Amino acid sequence: MVGVFHTIDFGRPSLALDLEEEFRPIIVDLLVLRLLRQQLLTPGDFSVQAGRCTLSDDARRFFIAQYEERLTVQVRHPAWQQQLTYRQCLQRQAEHLARCILGRDAAYTPLLIG
C-alpha cells in the first residue's frame, strides 16, 4: 500500500488515509463539534470498556446518518469554480491525486474551503 503521510503497512489503506486527512477537519471534525455543542450526542451515548471508547448502536446509526447528510452539503470548489457536494469534492480530489501519482498532474492541490 502506498502512502504519503501515513506509514506504509500491509493491509493499511495509507493513501486513502492520506486523502481523508484533507477532509477530516471540514467534514468530520465540524460535524462532531456541532453534535456535541447542540447536545445531539451526550456522554450517555458513549461507553468505555477495556480502554476503548465506543458509541452505542443507536448513537452510531445517528452519527452515520448525520455524516451522510454532511456529505450532501454544497460548497464552491476553488479549483473548478463550481458548486459541488462534499461527496463530489472527495471524488474529484481522489481523481486529482491519482493523476498526480501517474504523472498527469504536476502537483497535488488540496481542497481549501474558506
Q: 40 or 94, which is more confident?
A: 40
Tell me what pLDDT residue 5 has: 58
Top CATH class, 16-101: mainly alpha
Q: What predicted TM-score, i.e. pTM, was given to this entire model?
A: 0.82
Chain segment 42-76, per-residue pLDDT in tens: 999 999 999 999 999 999 999 999 999 999 999 99
Residue 12 pLDDT > 70: no
Residue 10 in this model has a pLDDT that exceeds 70: no
Domain borders along the chain are 16-101
Residue 79 or residue 11, greater confidence: 79
* H runs (alpha helix) in 1-114: 14-23, 30-37, 57-70, 86-101
* 102 close to 67: Cβ distance less than 8 angstroms: no
